[in-house]
Structure 1
Amino acid sequence: MQSEKITDVGPSPRERRYDDACGTALALEFIGERWSLLIMRELVFGPRRFGEIRANLPGLSANVLTQRLESLEEAGIVLRYRLPSPASVQVYDLTEWGREAAPLMRAMGRWAARSPRHDRSLFMSAASAMMSLQALVDPKRAASLAVSAAFHFPGEDFVATVEGGEVQVRRGVMDAPDLAFTGDTRALRRTIYGKAPLVRDGAGGTLAFAGEADLARAFVDLFTLPAKTA
C-alpha cells in the first residue's frame, strides 16, 4: 500500500483564527492579510474597476488581488456590482460597514508617518494622497478657513472641501472651485508637505495651481507631517 504524503501548509487566510475575543483580533482576521487594507484604501472614495485597483497597487498580482477581493467580499467589507449603461462595467466598492474603517486607516497612516522609516519618496496613489490630506490636516487652522480645491491627477480627479475644521474628499470634478491643483502625487507631496514655493505653472516639480495665491498658501499651510519619533 502506497503511503500518501501529507504536507501541513497551515490555515488559509479565510480559515485563520486567533482564538481571541478582542475585536482587534477579529479585525485582523478580516483585513490582516497583505494588501487587504490597501485595497480598501483604494475604494474609500468610491467604486473602482479591477484594473484600476491593480494599477494603483504596484507589486500586487492579479491572482492575489482576486483572492483578497473575494475574502473581503465574503467578510461583508467589499461588494461588486455592474455600473449602469453606458459604462456597463463591473466594479468593486466598500459596503457601508466597510467604509466605516476609513477613519481607522487615516489614524494608522498618521501614526506610522511618525516613524523614521517613513519614506515620502515611494509610490503613492491618488487615493492615498487625498486620504493623507484628511489625516494630516491641522484642525485648529482648518477651523478658520472654508475653501474648495480641485485636484487633477493623471487620469483621476478629486475635490477636497475644507469646512468646520475637517477635510471632505470625493472623486469627481467641481464647477468653479476656489482653487485647482494639477500634477501627480509626487508634486503634491513636494508642494503640500515639502512646502515648496507655489508656482502657477508647477515649475520645479510642484503642483500647478489656479486661484488666489494667498488662498492657495493658506490651504497648503493646513497640512503638515507629524514629528518623527526619537
Structure 2
Amino acid sequence: MPPRPRRSYDQFCAAARALDAVGDRWTLLIVRELLLGPRRYTDLHADLPGVSTDVLASRLKDLEQSGLATRRRLPPPASAYVYELTGRGRELTPVLRALAAWGAPELAERRPTDAVRAHWFALPLLDAVALEEGLVELSLEEGDFHVRMGGDGAVVSYGDGPAPDEPDARVTLDAVTAVELGRGTLSVADGVRDGRIAVTGDGPLAKALRNG
C-alpha cells in the first residue's frame, strides 16, 4: 500500500516544515511515549487515554513515513512488534522539554477528567534531578519512572517503571510536588527539608539531591 499523502503548509520555513511532520494532534504525545524506549502498540494505546485506534495507527504510520520512528519485531519468545524513535525522532526531546516547561503553569489544578501517568512528569522534572552522574528512581502514587544522567549532569535516558539496576538515589513524592518541581517553584532540597520529598541513598547523587 503506497504511503498516504501528507498535508503540508507549503511554506519554505523551518517551523512550518517541523509542523508538517509533527504538528498533527496526538503526534508529539506519541513521541513523548516513545522517548521511554521501544513500546508496543497496546502499551501506547493504554498510556494515551482518549486516542482512537485509527488515529494512533495513522500517526504511527506518519512518524515512520517521516523517518522519526520505526517498527520492528522483538526476537522470541516475545515475538511482539514495537515502535521506537530513530535518531532524528529523539532529537525532539528538547522540543518536548521546552513544551513541558512552557505548559507547567497550566497545571495549577488537576481537573476531574484528567488522566495521569507517573512518567508524564519525567520531562518537566529532568532539570530538577539532573545534578550528578547516576541513576534516579522516582516514585509517585501513580507509579514509578527512572532517569539516567551522564557525567556532565545531562540526561542520557529515562524510562517507565522502576530502575533496571540498583539506583543511586530513590525519590518519593506526590503529583502536586512534582508539578511544583517542574515549574521551578520548589527545589528537591527544599522539598526534603519540608518533608514533602524523601530521598534515599548514600552516594554523591543522593546527597546532591538532598542538599541542592
State the TM bucket, normalised to the shorter chain: 0.7 to 0.9
Structure 2 gaps, min length 5: none
Query: Match of 1:107?
Result: 98
Distance 1:175 1:76, change over 3 A: closer
Residues 1:170 and 2:153 are matched in the alignment:
no
Distance 1:213 1:164, change over 3 A: closer
Q: Is the 8 A contact 1:180 1:209 kept in 2?
A: yes
Name the CA distance, whole Å, in 2 between partners of 1:41 and 1:47.
12
Q: Is the 8 A contact 1:148 1:162 kept in 2?
A: no
Q: Is the 8 A contact 1:14 1:71 kept in 2?
A: no
Deviations along 1:128-165, whole A, 9 cap, x unmatched? Answer: 3222222x4387xx3xx445312356676424336424
The DSSP-based 3-state class of the residue aligned with 1:175 is: coil
How high is the sequence identity, in percent, across the aligned residues? Answer: 35
Structure 1 gaps, min length 5: 1-12, 223-230
Query: Match of 2:170?
Result: 180
Letter in 2 for 1:117: E
TM-score scaled by length of structure 2: 0.73
Distance 1:157 1:165, change over 3 A: closer
Name the CA distance, whole Å, in 2 between partners of 1:155 and 1:28.
32
TM-score scaled by length of structure 1: 0.68
Query: Match of 2:120?
Result: 128
Distance 1:29 1:190, change over 3 A: closer
Name the CA distance, whole Å, in 2 between partners of 1:155 and 1:124.
10
Query: Match of 2:66?
Result: 75
Q: Is the 8 A contact 2:199 2:210 kept in 1?
A: no
Letter in 2 for 1:47: P
Residues 1:150 and 2:123 are matched in the alignment:
no
More helix by share: 2
Q: Is the 8 A contact 2:118 2:143 kept in 1?
A: no
Letter in 2 for 1:130: A
- Counterpart mapping for 1:58-73 below 5 A: 58-73=49-64
Residues 1:23 and 2:10 are matched in the alignment:
no
Name the CA distance, whole Å, in 1 between partners of 2:79 and 2:135.
31
Once the two structures are overlaid, the 10-residue window that deviates more, 49-58 or 150-159, is: 150-159
Q: Residue 101 of structure 1: CA displacement?
A: 1.3
Q: Is the 8 A contact 1:133 1:167 kept in 2?
A: no
The DSSP-based 3-state class of the residue aligned with 2:61 is: helix
